[in-house]
Structure 1
Amino acid sequence: MDPVVLAAGSALVSAMATDGWQQARAAVVEWWRSRRPDRADEVGSDLEAVRAQVLAARDQGDEDTEQALAGVWRLRLQQLAGEDPALVDELRLLLAERLAPVSSDSEQAQNHPIVMKAEARDSSRVYLAGRDQHITGS
């Protein structure tokens, strides 16, 4: 799954529990309407239903339910992006401009996509890590 889609799905569900939810919701529905106008109202209703579940899960400390709901939205976004790969760049903008700003600092750090690319030639080595890395030997 595309890292932008992963981050956007997580940020969307995280935004549901913030004061900026209405702005984030409006941005997502507007974005969806411009891509699939026939489904935008349904998406808006679905977002409100999921928000109620997210708030209940947070009240109960149920992180598993919140993660499962984020997974559902990741899949929906992935399906849309699969139909039109150019939407990933638009989704990246939606994430950066409308979803990430309403998330807490810790959630922003978790939802920021990181893409690492490397190329090794001849006998060179490349080491990539998302966090700590310990290399022993030669």
Structure 2
Amino acid sequence: MKLITKTLTLALAAIIINVNAFAAVKIDKTTEKAREAVEAASPDDWHTYAEAAEKCIKKEVNLKEAAEWIKKSVEIKETSYNLKVLGNYYVKNNLPEKAIEAYSKSIRLGKMDDDKYSDKETQDKIVKLVRQLG
């Protein structure tokens, strides 16, 4: 009987410790601020969605929600900026073909908006990905 009581007491203590550990999980500041920005954004504010996604992608946090935000941003309006962020998301998720496609479209849109548009950083990312693919 004493052994059963000790075992149950230890099991209960382990459960309480685990429950407290899960309850104490904190959301990182990047995710918290990104969520606040998205919640305050108007439904057609593609830029805020893209910025929130970009911050999470750079910090490598909350990537699932970042994917939703960047896809929503692109759905609202395709821009050079949000397509570049989408490309960065694809790179982080090891999807080089999709990244190349998003980056290329980003450059095309930039050129369509401004003949003098230049984005060497994105061009270098494309070259690097193409080389990786062989």
TM-score (norm 1): 0.28
TM-score normalized by the length of structure 2? 0.29
Which one has more relative contact order, counting CA pairs under 8 Å at least 6 apart? 1
